[in-house]
Amino acid sequence: MKLWLDGGLQDIESARVSVFDHGLTVGDGVFETVKAVEGRPFALTRHLDRLTRSARGLGLVDPDLDEVRRACAAVLEANPMPLGRLRITYTGGHGPLGSDRGDLGPTLVVALGATARRPDSTAAITVPWTRNERGAVTGLKTTSYAENVVALARASQQGASEALFANTVGQLCEGTGSNVFVVLDGEIHTPPLASGCLAGITRALTIEWAAAKETDLPLDVLEHADEIFLTSTLRDIQAVHRVDGRALPAAPGPVTAKAMRVFDERSGDDLDP
Ligand SMILES: Cc1ncc(COP(=O)(O)O)c(C=O)c1O
């Protein structure tokens, strides 16, 4: 297996990043996860736009997107697989042990892992911890994901694959690595970006392709929504068949099933929508 580091392909066994990399010491970095089907990345332009936005939000120099594109192509070509998780990581680079950043320049890693197609439905839980809709890094896809690690571990312990957060004012926000949608009276709703959620690429495509509305929603909408689904790069659209103690045995319900069909069709038609 090969990954991209320091401007070229390297063997994963011997590739090395400094132990003083600011991404490692303080989580000063941003990332993207891109789906790759038969070696072809999906929605790469949108992912690279968000990578740049996240980097700017942290005050990192803009990533060299020509290099990132070359890196993605090289890594995909070197590691053929049916379904891949292409991971772009861009950090503050070698730095001091505190929160101040060094000036030796950023680190770029592009790596690929094999993954399997997700099931059409899954279980989720809610967690008591909040997303901060007013934080310095709200809306940025940073490598500071420890809160998500903790919440996802709790979901796993409870037999679920995702944990859903409210924000500080009790509105439904997002999952650890997904956006959340609900169906109410036949209409699809998802929290607005002001809720503090990540501007998910699958979320944006679902809003466009399935005519979903952005609506402030209380967390307890999950107790009575007719249907619930998650969106993310590797889930696409995935129905929720249980949330906490509530079963939704019909999942995917009719509205979700239709959105899933439309998403499959549209994403198959255009690899870089
Ligand atoms: C916190 C968070 N929310 C939502 C998403 C979904 O975004 P996307 O559809 O771009 O994968 C992700 C990432 O995958 C995420 O990390």
The pLDDT assigned to 96 comes to 95
42-70 CB burial, b ≥16 within 10 A, e <16: bbbebbbebbbebbebbebeebeeeebee
Q: Contact, 176 vs 140, CB < 8 A?
A: no
Yes or no: say if 181 and 228 are a contact pair by the CB < 8 Å rule: yes
Give the pairing type, strands 179-184 and 29-37.
unpaired
Looking at the CA of residue 141, tell me the nearest atom of ligand 1. 16
The two three-digit tokens of residue 259, written as one number: 């959105």
- Going from the Cα of 177 to the center of ligand 1, the distance in angstroms, rounded, reads 5
| Residue among 93, 114, 119, 112 nearest 104 (CA) | 93
Ligand 1 binding pocket mutation candidate from 46, 137, 141 (most atoms within 8 A of CB): 141
At 143 the pLDDT is: 98
Measured between alpha carbons, how far is 189 from 183 in angstroms, rounded to an integer? 6
Query: Is 0.85 surpassed by the pTM of this model?
Result: yes
H or E segment and range at residue 230: strand 227-232
Give the phi and the psi of residue 152 in degrees, each rounded to 5: -70, -35
Which tens digits make up the pLDDT trace of 99-148? 999 999 999 999 999 999 999 999 999 999 999 999 999 999 999 999 99
- Sequence-distant (6+) residues with CB within 8 A of 265 are none
Tell me the three state secondary structure of residue 270.
Answer: coil
At 26, the pLDDT band (50, 70, 90 cuts) reads very high
Pocket test for ligand 1, best of 131, 165, 232, 237 (most atoms within 8 A of CB): 232
Q: How far is the CA of 218 from the centre of ligand 1 (A)?
A: 20
Does the CB atom of residue 231 touch ligand 1 within 6 A? yes
> Average pLDDT for residues 178-201, to the nearest whole number?
98
Measured CA to CA in angstroms, residue 243 lies from 18, 195, 220, 247 at distances of 41, 20, 11, 7
**Res. 161 pLDDT band, cuts 50 70 90:** very high
Q: pLDDT band at 247, cuts 50/70/90?
A: very high
What's the rounded mean pLDDT across residues 211-223? Answer: 98
Question: How many alpha carbons lie under 13 Å from residue 201 in its C-beta half-sphere?
Answer: 23
| Span 2-22, average pLDDT | 97
Predicted pLDDT of residue 264: 98
The rounded Å distance from CA 203 to ligand 1 centre is: 8
Containing H/E element for 183?
strand 179-184
The four Cα atoms 217, 222, 228, 230 give a dihedral, to 10 degrees, of 70
Query: Is the distance from the beta carbon of residue 240 to the nearest atom of ligand 1 less than 6 Å?
Result: no
